[in-house]
Amino acid sequence: MLEHSPVLSRRRLLTAAALTSGLALIGGAAPATARPAARGVRLPAPTGPHALGTVSLHLVDTSRADPWVPSHPAREIMVQFWYPARDTRGYPAAPWLSPGAVPHFAEVFGFPADVVRSTTTHARTGAPVDRAAGGRPVILYSPGLGGDRGTGTALVEELAAHGYIVVTIDHTHDATEVEFPGGRVETGAIPPEIDDQVIARATAVREADTRFVLDRLAVLNAGPGILRGALDLNRIGMFGHSLGGSTTAATMHDDRRVKAGVNLDGTLVGAAAVAGSGRPFLLLSSDHGAEPEDPTWDTFWANQRGWKRELTLSGSTHASFNDSEVFYPQLAPVLGLTPEQVMEQIGTLDPGRSVMLQRTCLRAFFDHHLRHRPSRLFRAPDPRYPELRLLRAG
């Protein structure tokens, strides 16, 4: 289940420790008798003109010991690149979760392993990059605490299909499981008692991971390799869900290489996250009704010097901003969930429309600030998208 930490106010961070109750992708009430699944989850097709390729890379930061497992002398992470592909013929469909990670994921989250194993993405593994003159803009993605890099696939694929190169980050030992080359799987090692100190530590580790990835982008762009010359490192954005959103804000404050950022419903943890920057930032929240504003968002708003907007998505919940929005409705019969239980997790907004609205908002934001294509969505209420309510502009 999703639970509150003392530091989180009304927004919530996904914790691996809270997910051992055995419901589904992002916890909840215990399921009724489950029925066997015949196929994997169908991810919504991206709407952009580009076919998709993907490649996963193992990165090693020798300047840091692993902060969660000190016996590991270097910090190892996995990242995955999603990009427009020049040709996908003959390349296999990429799985939603790497095969070696499936058994642990299925055990922790209570999913039938065959469902997870059979869920594929729209990207083709190893397909050649469709390069653009000067390189394509880059967007980094950081998941919620305990989340794997694939938990934002529905949003990530949409951005890649519209011409961005998206880099999703597995924060090792924070994520419930990460598979490395050779089949080695590292599982979550964050202390089970999640308190303010643990959250602050996780935030610092995640920011260090992200800045290391930013360092490696220049190396990868110089080649040799599949990504040689594909990246425009003058146009880098970032977004994240929950603690990933806080990671985005902190990285934006401390690292000027990130030009624009989005926080999807995350409480902002630590001084850097609430300090703001002189570059564009979007806050997109779930539907909190008449509850007061998250105080960390108010602090950030007062400090943010660059372009800023706050929107809320009516009928959504905290879990709406990752692939729970896709998994829960399709797997309710498998997990024995009632319609009411599904709504408790992802809200009352139609799941397909929720994904469409999130995709539209993210794409409009990054098109505006990385491609100089202004959107009316951030100037005034847009009658096409009444569920996206503009709360503050600055």
Q: Provide, rounded to the nearest whole percent, the portion of the chain with pLDDT above 70.
A: 90
229 φ/ψ sector (left φ>0, alpha ψ -120 to 50, else beta): left
pLDDT for the residue numbered 29: 35
Is residue 165 situated within a structural domain? yes
Residue 93 CB partners (closer than 8 Å, separation 6+): 120, 121, 122, 123, 124, 125
Is residue 4 situated within a structural domain? no
Question: pTM (2 decimals)?
Answer: 0.92
Is residue 3 situated within a structural domain? no
pLDDT for the residue numbered 13: 46
CB distance 347 to 317 below 8 Å = yes
- Is residue 35's pLDDT more than 80? no
When the pLDDT of each residue in the chain is averaged and rounded to a whole number, the result is 91
- Is residue 1's pLDDT more than 80? no
> Can you spell out the DSSP letters for 297-358?
HHHHHHH--S-EEEEEETT--GGGGSTHHHHHHHHHHHHT--HHHHHHHH-SS-HHHHHHHH
Is residue 369 situated within a structural domain? yes
Is residue 6 situated within a structural domain? no
Q: 70 is written with which tokens?
A: 């000190």
Domain count, the chain: 1
Distance (Å, whole) CA 254 – CA 261: 13
CB distance 296 to 9 below 8 Å = yes
Residue 9 CB partners (closer than 8 Å, separation 6+): 267, 294, 295, 296
Mean pLDDT in residue range 167-179:
98
Is residue 7 situated within a structural domain? no
Distance (Å, whole) CA 140 – CA 195: 27
Give the structural domain span for 283: 16-393
Is residue 41 situated within a structural domain? yes
Is residue 37 situated within a structural domain? yes
Distance (Å, whole) CA 304 – CA 300: 6
Estimate to the nearest angstrom the gap between the alpha carbon of 201 and the chain centroid. 19
CATH number of the domain within which 257 lies: 3.40.50.1820
